[in-house]
Amino acid sequence: MLIKIVMLLISLAINPFLSTAMANENQSHEEEDSHLHESDIQPWRIGAEIFVNSHLFETDFGDISGGLYATDKPGVDVNVEKGAFTPGNWLRFQPVGQLLFWNGSDWRPVVPNGEKVEIKDAQENAISFRIDGVSEHAGVIGQIDSEGGLHAHLDFSILDVSNALGGSSGAYRIQLKLFESKPNSDISVSIAPSPIAIVLNRGLQQEHFEQAVSAAADLNENSVFVADTGILNIQRVKALGTFYKVKLQHIGNNQFQLIEAEEISGTE
């Protein structure tokens, strides 16, 4: 009986999210269409702040030159017209968060075979993204040219539990934050306020990969609705003083059925 009461209270608590999720779905798709997810990362600098053309990019492992488990996309191409960087400085990236894997319905820090994603930076350092975290050191994208610009491509690869090139079919998501520094310095002179997310496809059909990208676009939001599956994920909702992460199934007529509730820490 107590379980039923808790489930009912959770259902009542999430009601405010439901109409918002449905109303935002069409807008979300329109915004995604306007983003050039498959383009290069195009940063520019104004003052001490770095801006980018999008906060979500997508790419596929399987370059002709790199093989099935590598790619050099997306590249980085500074938009000098909008705001040049300081010539001679380094454009860099700091890995943040953790590696996430798309299981077909939501993003989780769980991979099938111990996979990790690595970026080889301009100094040949390997920056890794794992489900338990990321490399502590920042990577170097390249040195700003005399006109304040930079166009560079770094190598992305996926490795399995044996640390060899390879990875299970699926989508993988990493995050990084751009910053500018003087050469051989870790102190930023300009920085992006928000991280960039990159979703990498390893063998999924395009339709299924786009579902993963669509869900990744909303990962920073509290509620994520995936229209293709009818699943609504709410990252944090409170009932009877306890916080839950919940999953609901759309059953038509703007109605949802609660199918999963996981108790989480109030500090998450």
Which range, of 3-7, 109-113, 195-199, 241-245, averages the lowest pLDDT? 3-7
CB under 8 A, 24+ apart: contacts of 105-108: 105/226, 105/229, 105/231, 105/247, 106/215, 106/224, 106/226, 106/231, 106/233, 106/247, 107/173, 107/212, 107/215, 107/216, 107/219
Banded model confidence at residue 256, pLDDT cuts 50, 70, 90: confident
Give me the count of residues in the chain. 268
What is the average pLDDT value for the chain, to the nearest integer? 84
What does the DSSP assignment read for 27-94? HHHHHHHHS-TTS-B-EEEETTEEEES-SEEEEES--TTT-TTEE--S-EE--TTT----TT-EEEEE
Backbone phi and psi for residue 187, each to the nearest 5 degrees, phi listed first: -90, 125
Instruction: Spell out the residues 6+ positions from residue 126 whose beta carbon is closer than 8 angstroms to its own.
Output: 118, 119, 120, 135
**Ranges 142-146, 158-162, 216-220: which has the least confidence:** 216-220
Residue 51, pLDDT score = 96
Q: What is the pLDDT of residue 38?
A: 66
Give per-residue pLDDT as tens, 90-111: 999 999 999 999 988 889 999 9
Q: Is the pLDDT of residue 31 over 90?
A: no
Q: How confident is the model at residue 262 (pLDDT cuts 50, 70, 90)?
A: confident
pTM, two decimals, is 0.73
**For the chain, which residues make up each domain, given as ranges?**
2-32+230-264, 37-217
